[in-house]
Amino acid sequence: MADAVARPELAVEEQTRLLPPYRVILHNDDVNTFEHVITAIRQITPLEVEEAIEKTVEAHNSGVSMLLVTHQERAELYVEQFATKSLTVTCEPDD
């Protein structure tokens, strides 16, 4: 009978799924250009150009746009990274 081999990638996936999800939310401002916001989204997140444009327009029109959902630590890192680009992004639990 063969011994079970530990598969670390599965353990990481299971742990990630257990972490509570957090929303990363982009806030509109009257300072930054569309180009700056889109470029920052592309540099910081895995979103494609079309998605970055959609999120930027949504934030402009409604005041906020949910960029993505991830675990809390990563969401907080996104907040810090966007702050370095002079953009307001917050995170909150995805209830």
Q: Establish if 65 belongs to a structural domain.
A: yes
Q: Establish if 15 belongs to a structural domain.
A: no
pLDDT digits (tens, 9 = 90+) for 56-79: 999 999 999 999 999 999 999 999
* Segments forming the whole domain that contains residue 35: 20-93
pLDDT digits (tens, 9 = 90+) for 8-60: 666 655 655 678 999 999 999 999 999 999 999 999 999 999 999 999 999 99
Q: Establish if 9 belongs to a structural domain.
A: no
DSSP E strand stretches across the chain: 21-27, 64-71, 89-93
Q: Establish if 56 belongs to a structural domain.
A: yes
Q: Establish if 45 belongs to a structural domain.
A: yes
**Total structural domains within the chain:** 1
At 18, list the tokens.
């257990």
Helices 34-44, 72-83: crossing angle, 10 deg rounding: 140
Residue with the bigger pLDDT between 7 and 16: it is 7
Task: Report the pLDDT value the prediction gives residue 78, as an integer from 0 to 100.
Answer: 98
Q: Establish if 78 belongs to a structural domain.
A: yes
- 84 and 36 Cβ atoms separated by less than 8 Å: no
CATH of the domain at 66: 3.30.1390.10
Q: Establish if 41 belongs to a structural domain.
A: yes
Q: Establish if 12 belongs to a structural domain.
A: no
